[in-house]
């Protein structure tokens, strides 16, 4: 293959930040597609007050892509700066306010994000899953039965097992650029992240779900590490795979990447094999023991996947393909 590989990463929050940190030096043709269902903290307050897409996860993705120089790192830190006051500014991230101001001034979500990317001299671009703010709700089962939980924060912290995920509006406006990016991608990286509210939500937005089905054999699914995610407490990686299969039965990724710690989890190899995907097992967990991916290890394995698919990526370690 000639030219730089076009890579799209989907997710939200800290999981997407990790995958973008891993991918940013592999290609300049990098696009992040970010969930927009957050209703907590600074993002939730701005969403409620201004009726806008929550900017927090978009800000995080932009920060992950900042230029690796004093200019980029300084503006990244400014965007991430969070006020601590006794007044209404308390808890707001400056980047959220900046993004909200650009949206109000320009009247275009994608254009506003492009201006912030330019300010950061970003290694790629950031697009929203939807131009409409999304509300996630779920049916959650616990010892007392099944109840409905509304809102991203409430779903993410609900005690019990999630039986059904719902999204409002059911048919949100999706930017043309978002679907085009997936269709044009040479490699699509889905996950890690909060499984239901940051990963599976992409399959609840029909134009994006259809694009992901088309991109199946160009996709790698990155499973979470550890057992500390409240959304999936008491379940394993095989359960995460089966939840995705139920939601999007036509989507089949080419590769499923899982940390070595989960190699022998019951049912995982069988679930992935029956899916028709390849299971790639590698040590990708943060070496300090945190329930998070090590961006350097994740970069190594994603570079391996890209090279095996014949893609041109930058700076891959010698011998990474085998």
User: DSSP string covering 163-193, please?
Assistant: EEEEEESSS----HHHHHHHHH-SEEEE--S
Report the C-alpha dihedral over residues 51, 53, 55, 57, rounded to 10 degrees: 140
Examine the pLDDT at 321 and tell me if it is beyond 50.
no
Question: Which tens digits make up the pLDDT trace of 178-212?
Answer: 999 999 999 999 999 989 999 999 999 999 999 99
DSSP-derived secondary structure for 72-113? HHHHHHHHH-B---SSTTTT-BHHHHHHHHHHHHHS-HHHHH
pLDDT at 156: 86
Instruction: Name which residue leads in pLDDT, 229 or 275.
Output: 275
pLDDT tier at 213, thresholds 50, 70, 90: very high
pLDDT at 318: 43
Examine the pLDDT at 263 and tell me if it is beyond 60.
yes
pLDDT at 1: 44
Examine the pLDDT at 104 and tell me if it is beyond 70.
yes
| Fold assignment, 1-35+174-322 | Rossmann fold (3.40.50)
pLDDT at 268: 96
Kind plus residue range of the DSSP H or E element containing 125? strand 125-128
pLDDT at 319: 43
At CA 252, angle to CA 123 and CA 282, rounded to 5? 60
Domain boundaries, the chain: 1-35+174-322, 37-128
pLDDT at 116: 98
Question: Which tens digits make up the pLDDT trace of 6-59?
Answer: 999 999 888 999 999 999 999 999 999 999 999 999 999 999 999 999 999 999
pLDDT at 249: 96
Kind plus residue range of the DSSP H or E element containing 9? strand 7-11
pLDDT at 235: 77
N-term to C-term CA, the chain: 19
pLDDT at 143: 86
SS3 23: helix
pLDDT tier at 289, thresholds 50, 70, 90: low
pLDDT tier at 295, thresholds 50, 70, 90: very high
Q: Write phi, then psi, for 55 (nearest 5 degrees).
A: -90, -10
pTM across the whole model: 0.93
Percent with pLDDT over 70 in the chain: 94
pLDDT at 253: 98
> Rounded mean pLDDT of 133-155?
92
At CA 286, angle to CA 251 and CA 195, rounded to 5? 30
SS3 306: helix
């Amino acid at each position: 293959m000639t030219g730089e590989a076009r890579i799209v990463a989907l997710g939200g929050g800290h999981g997407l930040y990790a995958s973008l940190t891993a991918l940013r030096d592999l290609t300049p043709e990098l696009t992040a597609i970010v969930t927009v269902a957050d209703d907590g903290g600074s993002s939730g307050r701005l969403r409620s007050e201004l009726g806008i897409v929550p900017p927090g996860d978009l800000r995080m993705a932009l920060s992950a892509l900042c230029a690796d120089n004093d200019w980029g790192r300084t503006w990244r830190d400014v965007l991430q700066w969070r006020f601590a006051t006794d007044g209404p500014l308390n808890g707001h991230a400056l980047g959220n306010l900046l993004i909200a101001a650009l949206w109000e001034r320009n009247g275009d979500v994608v254009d506003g994000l492009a201006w912030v990317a330019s300010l950061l001299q970003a290694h790629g671009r950031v697009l929203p899953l939807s131009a409409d703010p999304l509300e996630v709700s779920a049916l959650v089962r616990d010892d007392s039965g099944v109840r409905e939980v509304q809102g991203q924060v409430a779903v993410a912290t609900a005690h019990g097992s999630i039986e059904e995920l719902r999204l409002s509006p059911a048919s949100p406006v999706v930017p043309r650029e978002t679907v085009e990016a997936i269709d044009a991608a040479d490699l699509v990286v889905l996950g890690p992240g909060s499984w239901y509210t940051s990963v599976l939500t992409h399959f609840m937005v029909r134009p994006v779900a259809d694009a992901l089905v088309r991109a199946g054999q160009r996709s790698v699914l990155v499973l979470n590490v550890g057992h500390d995610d409240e959304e999936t407490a008491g379940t394993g990686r095989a359960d995460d795979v089966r939840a995705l299969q139920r939601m999007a039965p036509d989507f089949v990724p080419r590769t499923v990447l899982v940390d070595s710690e989960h190699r022998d989890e019951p049912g995982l190899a069988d679930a992935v094999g029956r899916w028709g995907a390849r299971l790639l097992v590698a040590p990708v967990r943060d070496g300090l023991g945190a329930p998070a991916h090590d961006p350097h290890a994740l970069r190594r394995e994603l570079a391996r996947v890209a090279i095996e698919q014949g893609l041109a990526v930058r700076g891959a370690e010698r011998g990474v393909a085998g």
